[in-house]
Amino acid sequence: MKQLIPLIPLVFLAACGASPAPEFFGATRTDVTVNGRDYTVFQKGERVEVIRLGYAHRGEHQGIRATMIELIPRVTGCKLRESTLTGDSGEMRGSLDCPKQP
């Protein structure tokens, strides 16, 4: 039993799923499943971060990246400024153009 005690915190960390980059601490978090794959979207102001959860096989990355880009306006209600997009099929970040609130 003593040998298992150090592993307990790791189990809790693994259960938390995606964690945002420091820039997105305090951001709105949305968990989404598309085609059986899980993603987490963090939005803070006019910045967005999308994280893919789980393993991706060779040949899946281009489709995953396209799905991540499609998720951004659907989840945030804002338009992605495509020229600001960085990252890959595991994690990407970008800037948004959001409608002004009245």
Burial class (CB in 10 A: 0-12, 13-18, 19+), 48: buried
Residue 17 has what pLDDT? Answer: 74
| Domain residue ranges in the chain | 24-97
Q: Which residues of the chain have pLDDT under 50?
A: 1, 4-5, 7-15
- pTM here is 0.81
Residue 94 has what pLDDT? Answer: 98
Find the angle CA(7)-CA(12)-CA(17) to the nearest 5 degrees.
130
Residue 18 has what pLDDT? Answer: 86
Residue 16 has what pLDDT? Answer: 56
